[in-house]
A and B are shown apart, each in its own frame.
Chain A
Amino acid sequence: MTGGGDGAAATAAARTPIRGAGRWLGLAAALAGLALLPAVLSSYAVTVCILIFLYAYLGQAWNILGGYGGQLSAGHAAFVGVGGYTTTLLAVHWGLSPWGGMFVGGALAAVLGAIIGGLAFRFGLRGFYFVLLTVAFAEVCRIVVLNTDALGGALGLYITFTGDPWQLQFRDNRGYYYVALGLAAGATGVAALVERGRLGAYLVAVREDEQAAEALGVDTFRVKLAAIVLSAFLTGLGGAFYASYLFSLQPNAIFGIPLSVDIIIRPVVGGAGTVMGPLLGAVLLAPLAEAARTYFAQGGRAGLHLVVYGLLLIAVVLFLPRGAYPHLRAWRRSRGGR
């Protein structure tokens, strides 16, 4: 999972003012285009876009730890769950608006991230051992919530629909579209800042060779801890949106391993450790995810499209081990354009 070269391209772009300005203009045009898009899209297409943005957002959050830092978390569903449950419970019991509650949820997810990271990194768990620790924590959360009646137990929690924007609910799903777009754009901005900043450089150093990084004076424990806390916080915010968009929280769905895999697969397909990777992955996988969703909705025999999902993952690993984005960039360069 190497994403080198992006930073170099960025500095080169910054040095040539015209190219730098072009980049900002392109970004502004893309955002403006996305903001105007719902005016022409059907309601169904808007729904598809909301899910693309949500998964792009969660992918960006995962990418900070898993892509740049090379710490493969397979338990990010735990952070989604903590964020979603906290926000919902605060709204139900104390009438706190999800707009504020989501930050409490994100903070609690960050605390969980700090606990997992603190334990894992203090005890030097790497690779497969780290993967398993994250899975174990997510599963413990799932089982505890499943067995705690105060948290809704196996029935889960349901949110009453009021259509009140103050409750992060919208009668027109274009409302969700803009919130999801804002989240995805914000997370992309955070990821870009991380990549260009000191944290990103340290994280890549840790991923490439932890001992060498340590020898150069990088406090690898603090770097990895910062990454997991930031990643968990962002994922927790995403959980709040997930909850209010779906109106229901089911422990097996929101804390389950399949959601964690769903979060991982997009940045990996798109290109882990790159800013564009999670966005590209979310777009590339949208048709498959849509096929899966409509199948379930129609009560059909689910299966074959998820087989395709698995085959795609295998193909990406074997043929595009760095994800789609680095290859796309190399291809564009070879054609002489940018």
Chain B
Amino acid sequence: MTLTLVGQAVLSGILFGGVYSLMAVGLTLIFGVMRVVNFAHGDMMVWGMYLAWLLATRLGVDPVLGVAVCAAALFLLGVAVQRGLVDRLGDAPHEMQILLLLGVALVLENSALAAFGPDPQRVRSPLAEATWWLGPLFVDVGRLVAFGVAVALTGALWLFLRRTDLGRTMRATADNPYAARVVGADVRRVYATAFGIGAACVGAAGALVSPVLPFAPGSGLAASVTSFNIVIIGGMGSLPGALAGGLLVSVAESLGAVFLAPSMKELVSFALLIGILLFRPAGLFGRRP
């Protein structure tokens, strides 16, 4: 019985971990390319959720299809934030960056509050309400789909960074912006694209979990904090780190909910975070602190 419970926790943890990974991939890309920590990350995710909800309730589009629209909208938002705000900071100290993005987070969270009200919403999707039995374990189809799409998107991003010109330019800029500029990279464009893709990742993650998790305008903060935990644990700027960290944190939280209390599950990821910060600040896959 206990073994089944643990097995079930690990399975749901892995399935949900795909979405955690996609959130963290977006954050780690933004950080890796331009050393900016997107404090508005979770609030961008919440907007992805509400867009998926609008598409589902007004136009009857299933969130699995709505993902593309949400990702595109959040891409534009990310580009706007980078071009309109972060770009203008220049060489200001990093505290200013943090405060700027906290400002963006406040605007996003509270405009959602003004537009949609404080009550939690959930997208109804026939696909997400189905379950399959795998021996004694059940598989939540909504989570399985979210996992599959999230992993596919992460894979596509990986290929983009490795195989396309823009992707290579992005990695070159991440490595050394000055040298990239010298060899003719349009750094501003690279930055705007990277922020856009990072925001699109978290927007897609939002659309994917919208049928699985109830959400409210205030959900963004917890999502931001979770993304930060994962990225630190995996290693800031590391794509494999974000993927592995997402799965690790999700499974750890899921087991924490079984062995401690459901409300204590975040404690496990914070304990992991503090441990990593102190003993391996570069993270599991990071190269330098």
Nearest chain A residue, comparing its CB with the CB of B92: A321
Of the candidates A127, A128, A261, A302, which one forms a contact with B102 in the assembled complex, judged by CB atoms under 8 Å apart?
Answer: A261
Residues of A contacting B267 with CB < 8 Å? Answer: 140, 143-144
A123 within 8 A of B: yes
How big is chain B's contact interface, by range? Answer: 35 or more
The answer to whether B117 and A301 have CB atoms under 8 Å apart is yes
Known contacts A128-B94, A301-B117; is A268 also within 8 Å of B99 by CB?
yes
Q: Are A310 and B110 closer than 8 Å at their CB atoms?
A: yes
Evaluate whether A139 and B270 lie within 8 angstroms (CB atoms) in the complex, with A311-B103, A313-B99 already known: yes
User: B3 near A: Cβ within 8 Å?
Assistant: no
Instruction: State whether A133 touches B277 (Cβ < 8 A).
Output: yes
* Cross-chain contact of A147 among B107, B109, B261 (Cβ < 8 A): B261
Chain A residue, CB-CB nearest to B279? A123
Question: Inside 8 A of A312's CB, which chain B residues have their CB?
Answer: 103
Query: In the docked arrangement, what's the CA distance between A36 and B46, Å?
Result: 48
CB < 8 Å: which of A127, A143, A257 contacts B221? A257
Instruction: Point out the residues of chain B lying under 8 angstroms from A154, CB to CB.
Output: 263
Residues of chain A with a CB closer than 8 A to B217's CB: 303
A24 to chain B, nearest CB (A): 33
Would A1 and B277 be within 8 Å (CB), given that A257-B221, A306-B113, A317-B100 are in contact? no
Q: Which residues of chain B are near A133, meaning CB under 8 Å? A: 274, 277
List chain A residues, Cβ under 8 A from B112. Answer: 303
Q: Tell me if B225 counts as interface (CB < 8 A to partner A).
A: yes
Contact (Cβ within 8 A) B98 A131 = yes
Chain A contacts for B60, CB-based, 8 A? none
Q: Is A132 an interface residue (CB 8 A)?
A: yes
Residue from the list B93, B95, B96, B106 in contact with A306, Cβ < 8 A: B106
A310 with B114: CB separation less than 8 A = no
Q: Is B73 an interface residue (CB 8 A)?
A: no
Check B118–A302 contact: CB distance below 8 A: yes
In the assembled complex, the Cα of A317 lies from the Cα of B271 at a distance in Å of: 33
The verdict on B264 contacting chain A, using a C-beta distance below 8 Å, is yes
Residues of B within 8 Å of A303, CB to CB, are 110-115, 217
Interface string of B24-40 (1 = CB under 8 A from A): 00000000000001000
Instruction: Report the minimal beta-carbon distance from B77 to chain A, rounded to whole angstroms.
Output: 14
Q: A106 within 8 Å of B by Cβ?
A: no
B266 touches which one: A125, A143, A310 (CB < 8 A)? A143
Q: In residues 299-322 of chain A, which contact B (Cβ within 8 Å)?
A: 301-304, 306-307, 309-314, 316-318, 321
With a cutoff of 8 Å between Cβ atoms, the chain A residues found around residue B92 in the complex are 317, 321
Q: 1/0 contact trace for A126-158 toward B, CB 8 Å?
A: 011101110111011001101100000010000
> Is B273 close to A, CB under 8 A?
yes
Given contacts A72-B98, A129-B232, A303-B111, contact A313 B106 (CB under 8 A): yes
- For the complex, is A70 an interface residue (Cβ under 8 Å from B)? yes
Determine chain A's interface SS by DSSP, over half rule. Answer: helix
Q: Which residues of B contact A1 (CB under 8 A)?
A: 93, 95-96
Q: With both chains docked as a complex, state the minimum distance between the C-beta of B81 and any C-beta of chain A, in angstroms.
A: 10
Distance in angstroms between the alpha carbons of A154 and B261 in the assembled complex: 13
Is A119 an interface residue when CB atoms closer than 8 A count as contact? yes
Q: Which of A306, A310, A316 sits near B104, CB closer than 8 Å?
A: A310
Minimum distance in angstroms from A129 CB to a CB of chain B: 6
A12 to chain B, nearest CB (A): 27
In the bound assembly, the distance between CA atoms of A312 and B236 in angstroms comes to 30
**CB neighbours of A309 from chain B (8 A):** 106, 110
Does chain A have a CB within 8 A of B85?
Answer: yes
**A146 closest partner in B (C-beta):** B263
CB distance from B280 to the nearest CB of A (A): 10
Which B residues are in CB contact (< 8 Å) with A72? 95, 98
What distance in Å separates the Cβ of B100 from its nearest Cβ neighbour in chain A? 4
**Contact between A143 and B277 (Cβ–Cβ < 8 Å)?**
no
Q: Is the CB of B106 within 8 A of A123?
A: no
A-B contact pairs, 13 of them (CB 8 A): A123-B279, A136-B277, A139-B225, A143-B267, A258-B221, A301-B114, A302-B114, A306-B113, A307-B110, A313-B106, A314-B85, A317-B89, A317-B100
Residues on A close to B: CB < 8 A?
1, 70, 72, 74, 119, 123-125, 127-129, 131-133, 135-137, 139-140, 143-144, 146-147, 154, 257-258, 261, 264-265, 268, 272, 301-304, 306-307, 309-314, 316-318, 321
* The 7 A-B residue pairs with the shortest CB-CB distance in the complex, in nearest-first order: A310-B106, A303-B114, A313-B103, A310-B107, A303-B113, A314-B103, A306-B110
B positions within 8 Å CB-CB of A: 37, 85, 88-89, 92-96, 98-100, 102-115, 117-118, 217, 221, 225, 228-229, 232, 261, 263-264, 266-267, 270-271, 273-274, 277-279, 281, 289
